[in-house]
Amino acid sequence: MHKNVGYQSSANLAGPQKEQQMTQEIAFRPFRSIQCRILRQSQVRRTFLFAFQAGSPLVRSLFASLTLLVVATAVPVATAQKIQLSVDVSKPGPKIDRNIFGQFAEHLGHGVYEGIWVGPDSKIPNTRGIRNDVVAALKAIRVPNVRWPGGCFADEYHWRKGIGSPRAVTLNPNWGGVIEPNTFGTNEYMDFLDQIGAEAYLSVNVGSGTPQEASEWLEYLTTAQATTLAKERDANGHLAPYKVAFLGIGNESWDCGGNMTPDYYLSQLKIYSRFVRNFNPAQQDKQQMLKIAVGPGGGEPRWTEWTDAIMKAYQNHTWSWDMNGLSMHSYTVVKWPPSYTSVGFGETEYAQILKSTLEMNDLVEKHSAIMDKYDPQKKVALVVDEWGGWYAPLPGSTPGFLAQQNSLRDAVLAALNLNIFARHADRVRMANIAQMINVLQAMILTDKEKMVLTPTYYVYKMYVPFQDSTFVRATFDAGTFTHDGIMLPRIDAIAAKDKAGKLWLAITNVDPNQSAEIELSLVGINAKSAAGETLSASRVDSVNTFDAPNTVVPKPFSAKAQDGKLTLKLEPKSVTVVAIEQ
């Protein structure tokens, strides 16, 4: 007789009950399989027992060994469940702008000083004071743009203190109250960009600066005419005008940037947009500088009201001012102040952080909907220029330096967010992870002459083929991973075609314990194989250190089609990127 243990078919349930029951169905499948094996193995063992009692010592020894083998196979193991993933390359979507892979370098902790700048007299190999090892690592991930000098620091930065010689020595009151030597200034920043092949995203001082100061900064940088400021730039070592691709007009003006109301900020935005101009002759037509306004910092009413006010003003803007982007800041924190550790955590913290980071999707959709109301043609980009995991400072570090480690969890977190941006590529056309070196969710960690690349760095390197690729919709059943009552999608994936027409897939297996088999259905492509890289490790909190830099590094991944089907077998807690070969 079948005994009812509280299990029902999910067909007659709805809402939360159905979701819960579907989770139970997934959870029950492997245990039912194990239960059947145990019953079959019990029958075999009864047959063996009769022979064992009547047989010779040799027979008894043989039967005893076989019995141990059968019993061992009854131990539950994590088994892969096939997931169907379909891609129709005949239906391309928007371009995944390479600028969503942007970086952020603020004068904060060891992000600039020691991270980028060591000075020309340093024993650490450098070019004009900029670390060679860091430059080589950043070139490898094709950094599209670097936001500088902040952050909150930007609204207290006065550019003239960072040019020429001698340099003014000031304070950095935002981040630890430390000395700011200003040895890394405008010319050094532009030199750094030139070395790594990135474009400038300059954040001007709206909080404590003036329109005149910002206007003169842009003239110093961009004019080709023989003005006094252009001659000063020449005297400082650069005759030709610089290119400035992006201009950020303020930073978090609703908070550290001046505690402004939306209306007051709008009054400043219009002034700065009008008078802070780019004079570079090469940027007067197709390569015009894009102006990015301060946008929301969350999803609560104060932020939606801010977005509504800025976009409503944009809808009615006149010839004398304009904007091309609206910034948005969102960190994965869970609770404030940041208290989750970046090392030595378990699967519960892993699940909690990833559940929090997935809120980015709702945030993007909420503010995109407001923008659509006033800008249905999507002329204004949503620029997520501060995002990433923000954890408790490392023990022994200066709290204001925001130093933290970077684990496999952060690699998964990065992939999930990049996938969200790619799926909203029609509106999200730029993003900057915080921050590039030694601060928050960094690409690179340094300690004097030593350097180590983080798991997040490797995700960015694996995702290089998605830069300026064409989004292709991928459909799949994400499944469910549940831990301590926290429910997450088990699988996440995106697909895109690069400029050469090659199809790329990025698939993340969120489940830390169970592998996954992805069976591909590719419409319009006769796939013969897949080749790329996968990133995983033994633990969710695995990190790379200066002593063990290769704990979390990509390894080759390949699969061949069999019987006309291409199946990818993914490790638990992994990020995999492959090209489809035809």
Residues 6 or more apart whose Cβ sits within 8 Å of residue 205: 154, 155, 156, 157, 158, 159, 213, 214
Look up residue 167 and give its DSSP letter. P
Preceding peptide of 166 cis, ω within 30°: yes
Packing angle of the helix pair 347-357, 359-374 (nearest 10 deg): 0
Using alpha carbons, list the distances in angstroms from residue 123 to 131, 241, 277, 456: 10, 32, 40, 28
Q: Would you call 536 helix, strand, or coil by DSSP?
A: coil
* Radius of gyration, CA atoms only, the chain: 28
Q: Would you call 545 helix, strand, or coil by DSSP?
A: coil
The answer to whether the CB of 488 falls within 8 A of the CB of 354 is: yes
Q: For residue 384, count CB atoms less than 10 angstroms from its CB and return exposed for 0-12, middle for 13-18, buried for 19 or more.
A: buried
The answer to whether the CB of 511 falls within 8 A of the CB of 540 is: no
Burial 33-46 (b: 16+ CB within 10 A, else e): eeeeeeeeeeeeee
Amino acid at 117: W
Closest Cα partner for 244 from 274, 280, 197, 194? 280
CB atoms near residue 430 (< 10 Å): 26
User: Residues with catalytic annotation?
Assistant: 252, 386
The answer to whether the CB of 294 falls within 8 A of the CB of 251 is: yes
Using alpha carbons, list the distances in angstroms from residue 525 to 16, 39, 43, 87, 513: 38, 45, 49, 9, 32
Cα 306 to chain centroid distance, Å, stands at 25
CA distance 217 to 463: 35
CA distance 178 to 169: 11
Closest Cα partner for 249 from 223, 284, 275, 220? 275
Tell me which H or E stretch contains 291: strand 290-293
Burial 198-215 (b: 16+ CB within 10 A, else e): bbbbbbbbbbebebeebb
Instruction: Report how many helices (DSSP H) and strands (DSSP E) the chain contains, helices first.
Output: 12, 25
CA distance 491 to 472: 17
CA distance 471 to 505: 10
> In the β-sheet with 81-96, what is the strand arrangement from edge to edge?
555-560, 529-535, 574-581, 503-509, 491-497, 469-476, 81-96, 516-523, 566-570
Q: Which tokens hold the place of 478?
A: 């994400």
Q: Which tokens hold the place of 469?
A: 């690729």
